[in-house]
Amino acid sequence: MGREFLTIFDDWAENYDDTVSGLDPEYSRVFAKYEEILEAVVHHTKGPVLEFGPGTGNLAKKIIAAGYEYIGIEPSKAMREKFRKKLPKVSLYDGDFLRYPVFSIPIQTIVSTYAFHHLTNEEKETAVKKFSKTLSDNGTIVFADTMFRSEKERLNEVARAKKQGYTTLAEDLEREYYPTITFLKQLFKRNNFTIEMHQMNDFVWLLVAEKKSE
């Protein structure tokens, strides 16, 4: 359920905002155009919004500033603590893509950035099926995450990271469950979503999936 990576995120919480702002050269390409990516997610959002893996709250701040009702689901205790320092009055729950409360308000958009790849392909399938039930009619999923055109492309990035001496990045790319574009298109289509995808940087694509009317 992605919780096997919790230690990494608990340890990363203190320096996460520095990393996404480009201060860590090892991850500078991964987080290139970070603010633009978050703005793109907000652009496709309609509220109320449910976010998975909000981390320190960077996307949440933008969604709330845009006037949308917001709920966050974050499995990392350390990240939740950082989030609450920025947004102390915002609804935030311990949970993950597969385990989260049932909410009384109609969820119109599910968003997530840099997180969906922590699920195996089988777990991604389970999550999308559950999203379909969680979303209101004509609801939208908006994800920005690392994904690749092919497995070969991922392996090329692993080789590049190793050549540059970026061992942590190489380990991430080898250990986590980065999907291909083809897999995600098929996953959402067979679960009754239309889908559009746009590349945002060398690693990150924006995925916008609209739930079809029953």
Domain locations in the chain?
A: 3-145+178-211
pLDDT of res. 2: 52
- Mean pLDDT calculated for residue range 197-205: 98
Q: Dihedrals φ, ψ of 110, to 5°?
A: -110, 125
Share of residues in the chain with pLDDT > 90 (%): 88
- How far lies 71's CA from each of 21, 93, 207, in Å? 24, 8, 20
To the nearest 10 degrees (0 to 180), the angle between helices 151-163 and 167-175 is: 160
- pLDDT one-digit tens code per residue, 146-185: 999 999 999 999 999 999 999 999 999 999 999 999 999 9
Q: Which pLDDT band, with edges at 50, 70 and 90, does 14 fall under?
A: confident
**Is a pLDDT exceeding 70 seen at residue 3?**
no
In angstroms, the CA 116 to CA 199 distance is 16
> pTM for this one?
0.95
CA-angle at 205, arms to 15 and 142, nearest 5°:
90
pLDDT of res. 4: 72
Give long-range contacts, CB 8 A cutoff, 24+ apart: 82-87. Answer: 82/13, 82/14, 82/16, 82/55, 82/56, 82/57, 83/54, 83/55, 83/56, 83/57, 86/56, 86/57, 86/60, 86/61, 87/57, 87/60, 87/61
Identify the CATH number of the domain defined by range 3-145+178-211.
Answer: 3.40.50.150
**Is a pLDDT exceeding 70 seen at residue 90?**
yes
Q: Which pLDDT band, with edges at 50, 70 and 90, does 7 fall under?
A: confident
Residues facing residue 194 across a β-bridge: 210
**Is a pLDDT exceeding 90 seen at residue 68?**
yes
Residues 84, 92 contacting (CB under 8 angstroms): yes
- pLDDT one-digit tens code per residue, 20-54: 998 999 999 999 999 999 999 999 999 899 999 99
Note the residue count of the chain.
214
Residue 31 backbone zone (phi > 0: left; psi -120 to 50: alpha; other: beta)? alpha
